[in-house]
Each structure stands twice: as structure tokens, then as C-alpha cells.
Amino acid sequence: MIGGVQPKLLLSMDENGQLQVDSAQAELLGLTENNHNWRLVRERDGLTHTSRDIIWLEFNEEGRFKAKHEEPGVGRSLLMSPFNLYFTWQTTSVTEIIAATPNLDYVKFKTTNSVYELSRIYDSAVGNPV
């Protein structure tokens, strides 16, 4: 990359005239992700999101960012990667941890307005996280 020059996304047009972003270039810039390690499912409608990584955010009384954590907790919100303006999903604050495995590969939790199940995605052939 040339210093002082903003990176450009490579675009192409498909047979239907739709613009397509070069997925490899978009991933390098942190706009998309190809490898997903986590699956979040909302109970009421089955809405599903996947991401490479997750973090738990804590906010202060004014609703401003206070701290980030690697484990869930009451009062924290789940943020799914990529961790930029184009994040996949953020939940409202956790009000209750309903169930969790000791290694936190599975967590069922209730938020201000929904119930979610978060689970690590495993490679079914070898049983290891992807």
C-alpha cells in the first residue's frame, strides 16, 4: 500500500449487473469475516448471527462504555465481531444467565428484551473448534 493513500475495495459486476465486493480484500480490511467460530440464536424467532470472535461490553450508569470482558455477566452486552463500525450484532444488557458450560462454549442468557443461546461452532469431523 502506498503511504497516505486510502485502500480501495476491488469491485466487480456479476451477470445480473450487481456490484460485488472482493471478499478477500474486504476481510483484510476488517469489513467481513469468512471464518466463524460463534453462533448466536435468538429464541423467539430463530434469528441467527455468526462471528469470528465475541466480547462482552459493560456500560456505566449513563450508558457509556466502561469496560470489555471475555466472559458474560449480568449488565453486560454481547458484541459479535468484526469489532468496528460494521459489527455483526450487539445484544441489549444481560439480565440473567440461564445456563452455561464451565468452559463457556455454550451460554443461554436473557437480555432486556430477548433470550439467546450462544455456542462455539465445532468442526464436526474432528470435534475441535473451527
Q: Is 117 exposed, middle or buried (0-12, 13-18, 19+ CB in 10 A)?
A: middle
Rounded to an integer, the average pLDDT of 16-22 is 78
Whether pTM exceeds 0.85: no
Q: What percent of the chain has pLDDT over 90?
A: 56
Yes or no: say if 79 and 7 are a contact pair by the CB < 8 Å rule: no
pLDDT at 122: 80
Question: Per residue in 103-115, pLDDT tens?
Answer: 999 999 999 999 9
